[in-house]
Amino acid sequence: MTRQAMVAALVGNPNAGKSALFNALTGARQKIANYPGVTVERKSGRMLLPTGEPVELVDLPGSYSLHPSSPDEEVTRDVLMGRMAGQATPDVLVIVLDASNLEQHLVFAQELIELGRPVVVALNMVDLAERDGLVLDPAALASALGVPVIPTVAVRRRGLAELTAAVAALRDRAEEAPPVHRPHVTAPERRMLARQIARGAILSETAQHRIHAQLDRVLLHPWLGPPVLVALLFLVFQAVFSWAKPLQDGLDGAFSGLGDLARSELPVSLLRDFLTDGVIAGVGAVVVFLPQILILFFFILTMEATGYMARAAFLMDRAMAGVGLSGRSFIPLLSSFACAVPGIMATRSIADPKDRLTTILIAPLMTCSARLPVYTVIIAAFVPDRQVLPGVGQQGLVLLGLYVFGVLGAMGAALLLRRTVTKGQASGFIMEMPKYQLPTVKDLALGLWQRAYVFLRRAGTMIFAVTVVLWLLLNFPRAADPQDQVNASVAGHIANGLAVVIEPIGFNRDIALALIPAMAAREVAVSALATTYAVGESDDAAQGRALGAQLKSHWSLATALAFLAWFVFAPQCMSTIAVTRRETNGWAWPAFMLAYLFGLAYVAAGITYWLAVAAGLG
Amino acid sequence: MTLDQLPTGASARIVSVAWDTLVPEEGQRLCALGIEEGAEVRLAYRGVFLARDPIAIEIGRMTVALRRVHACAMTVEPQMAPVA
């Protein structure tokens, strides 16, 4: 059983390339969970020794020392000291060092070696060091540290066999010899030693990090950097909308083909309607957005893997300081464009608690990928597909506008929150800039596969269940006259009650019907609308009609715009609420988040509707 | 002279740091990054547009971004400019 299996831990400074090494050593055999009681992600996987024997490999959060200054570092210390409940003390430590940053990384490495555990050092990213003109001598490093040193290039899978062999050798030795206790030295001594050892390990050194510096000269340039960032973000949003189109049309065609097939092959019955209107229409309406979500994640993962994300944080720090945050908040907020859940989890790297809380509270205002289905359907139905400028479509511009609207809302909210509920000292910004690196196809593919899996699992379970329940609520009790099915149903009664509240902001009963199940997840609104309109139509031809055409015949432009404005703010996502509760340790902040975001959504939708009606669009 | 007054591109050695003016956690983070007395740094980049905040300094082979408030707390001794 796994109880007997050996446990090895990857440990090292942030930006040492631990995650890439972890991916290379474990492949797709990974498990991502949380440590009990804390909110730090626990990544573990199965690594195979040369003998074929499995070892549990744990990827510990990047740390600078065993004296923690963040929750991440606390976890690292507790696991290493054997104080983490539910986590066996690692038998072997694999210390990961960035070869081109030895002087820095050897400080923590010495502290780890002093623990006296079986240790092997992975001298990682030796290729980048050589690219920068730094040639190292692993043997010299090994004799200075007194532990084995294996040069590795995790992203190119170099040195992995040697590393696992070294782990196996350590394990064999650990079984016979008791742990060695090494003399303890003070921090300044360690730093001096680190410098000496690092210098001693250098075989040859030429001009410093050239490519790195040349890229930074442009990307961090006070005048060139920001336009490059804006252009990049614009490219991302155009790509999300236009590149995904053919794939989406393909998926859409496949699902409507499936629906048609079911309609023609199965006998007319309630079961047939359930399959076509409930299951196929509902789940299909969500699955078609997979290409867009993957394209967005592709860009975010690439920006992270290349090291550009930290530069973006640097460029954005000034602007973030204006609303009382720091550049550090930029990374969680940008991730929130993909999904607020990983975004909120990424706030752990923000040391200041008030800063972190503010970032968590505004993260849901970033337009996440779950809103894309909603925006796309409404925009495609109501905004003409015209070219404003060559290559710049009107639909893409409206989409960009919605993103900007969300960002401005978030900035305003941050400004207000920092002056009221999260009042406190202005936060600082200290951040190491990782080296630029070409991402590997394998790491990107693994990351994308994990996102796609999470999305499809949601579509297959929660969204499927919500769709089925909604279909049942819509179809029972049966109405005498088929035209009135929605009004007669349970869901219709609930929605009619809710409609009273949302009528002033231009929402109709069908929207009320979509908003309730969309509390589970925003994209459910699309499948709910699809189900509602499919059930509402009596003849097969109308049922097969695309959702866009249905919306156009039931909604005014003012209603559509108000609906978009609502979704910029409304916190309709159970996962976000759940993760906020976990990250803030209680219900107070998620409750606050719900209240303030629903308030904003109501006001924004209302203002949009009234203005649109006044402009004659009602 | 303090670190924030150093011209962009110039190198200097940190002579003293007014630790008591910094938030303790941030001081700890700076120490962990090796930004402390005796460290040799180069002011590599300054913030966007006309703002002088944040700044990026090079220390060893590492680039670290920090705010001017941190730089103001560090007294530096400019080094001879290396021949470009």
**Preceding omega of B54 cis (within 30 degrees of 0):** yes
Q: What type of residue is A20?
A: A
Nearest Cα to Cα of residue A608 among A561, A571, A575, A538: A561
> What's the CA gap between A120 and A106, in Å, rounded?
13
List CB contacts of A557: < 8 A, sequence separation 6 or more: A382, A612, A617, A618
Nearest Cα to Cα of residue A599 among A501, A496, A497: A501
In this structure, what DSSP letter does residue A99 have?
G
| pLDDT for A497 beyond 80 | yes
User: Residue A103: which of B44, B60, B63 has the nearest Cβ?
Assistant: B60
* E-only strand ranges, A173-219: 202-205
**What ipTM was predicted for this assembly?**
0.92
Contact B23 A101 (CB under 8 A): no
Q: Name the pLDDT band for A177 (thresholds 50, 70, 90).
A: low
Contact A327 B65 (CB under 8 A): yes
Tell me which chain A residue has its CA closest to the CA of residue B28. Answer: A69
Q: Collapsing DSSP states into helix, strand and coil, what is residue B53?
A: coil
**In contact, A483 and A535? CB cutoff 8 Å:** no
The predicted model gives A356-377 an average pLDDT of 90
Residue A47 region, left (φ>0) first, then alpha (ψ -120 to 50), else beta? beta
Q: Name the pLDDT band for A9 (thresholds 50, 70, 90).
A: very high
pTM greater than 0.80: no
User: Residue A261, Cβ neighbours under 10 Å: how many?
Assistant: 12
> What's the CA gap between A169 and A158, in Å, rounded?
19
What is the interface size between A and B, counted as CB pairs within 8 Å?
111
Cβ contacts (< 8 Å) between A429 and chain B: which residues?
54, 65-67
Tell me what percent of the residues of chain A surpass a pLDDT of 90. Answer: 28
For A:166-205, CB contacts with B below 8 A are 187, 191
Structure tokens at B34: 């090796």
The predicted model gives A426-433 an average pLDDT of 82
Contact B70 A187 (CB under 8 A): no
Q: Name the pLDDT band for A179 (thresholds 50, 70, 90).
A: low
Cβ contacts (< 8 Å) between A226 and chain B: which residues?
48-49
Lowest-confidence segment of A27-31, A95-99, A447-451 by average pLDDT: A27-31
Instruction: Output A276 or A483, whichever has higher pLDDT.
Output: A276
Q: Collapsing DSSP states into helix, strand and coil, what is residue A32?
A: strand
| pLDDT for B23 beyond 90 | no
> What's the CA gap between A524 and A469, in Å, rounded?
12
What pLDDT, on the 0 to 100 scale, is given for residue B84? 46
What pLDDT, on the 0 to 100 scale, is given for residue A39? 56
The predicted model gives A280-289 an average pLDDT of 75
∠ CA A558-A559-A563, nearest 5°, is 120
Which residues lie across from B74 on neighbouring strands? B17
Interface probe for A, chosen from B61, B64, B69 (most Cβ of A below 10 Å), is: B61
What pLDDT, on the 0 to 100 scale, is given for residue A416? 94
User: Residue B47: which of A100, A209, A222 has the nearest Cβ?
Assistant: A222
Q: What type of residue is A233?
A: L
| pLDDT for A316 beyond 60 | yes
Report CA dihedral (A152, A154, A156, A159) to the nearest 10 degrees.
30
Structure tokens at A141: 């490093």
Which residues lie across from A205 on neighbouring strands? A134
**In contact, A485 and A477? CB cutoff 8 Å:** no
What pLDDT, on the 0 to 100 scale, is given for residue A350? 79
What pLDDT, on the 0 to 100 scale, is given for residue A301? 85
List CB contacts of A353: < 8 A, sequence separation 6 or more: none
Tell me which chain B residue has its CA closest to the CA of residue A352. Answer: B25
Contact B48 A428 (CB under 8 A): no
Instruction: Output A282 or B30, whichever has higher pLDDT.
Output: B30
Model pLDDT for residues A577-609, shown as the tens digit of each residue: 877 887 887 889 999 999 999 999 999 999 999
Q: Name the pLDDT band for A443 (thresholds 50, 70, 90).
A: confident
* E-only strand ranges, A355-453: 387-389, 392-393, 431-433
Lowest-confidence segment of A96-105, A605-614, B48-57 by average pLDDT: B48-57
**Preceding omega of A477 cis (within 30 degrees of 0):** yes
Model pLDDT for residues A202-221, shown as the tens digit of each residue: 888 776 556 777 888 889 98
Structure tokens at A311: 């530069």
Nearest Cα to Cα of residue A124 among A87, A90, A98: A98
Contact A430 B62 (CB under 8 A): no
**Residue A48: its H or E element:** strand A41-48
| pLDDT for A571 beyond 80 | yes
Which residues lie across from B42 on neighbouring strands? B11, B58
Cβ contacts (< 8 Å) between A103 and chain B: which residues?
34, 60-61
**In contact, A130 and A156? CB cutoff 8 Å:** no
Q: What type of residue is A603?
A: V
Model pLDDT for residues A51-81, shown as the tens digit of each residue: 889 999 999 988 988 888 777 888 899 999 9
Report CA torsion sign: A372, A377, A380, A382.
Answer: negative
What pLDDT, on the 0 to 100 scale, is given for residue A128? 84
For A:549-568, CB contacts with B below 8 A are none
Lowest-confidence segment of A199-213, A301-315, B15-29 by average pLDDT: A199-213
Q: Collapsing DSSP states into helix, strand and coil, what is residue A502?
A: helix
| pLDDT for A437 beyond 50 | yes
In this structure, what DSSP letter does residue A489 have?
S
The per-residue b/e assignment along A369-399, b for 16 or more CB within 10 angstroms, e otherwise, is bbbbbbbbbbbbbbbeeeeeeeeebebbbbb
| pLDDT for A544 beyond 60 | no
Q: Name the pLDDT band for A152 (thresholds 50, 70, 90).
A: very high
Cβ contacts (< 8 Å) between B37 and chain A: which residues?
none
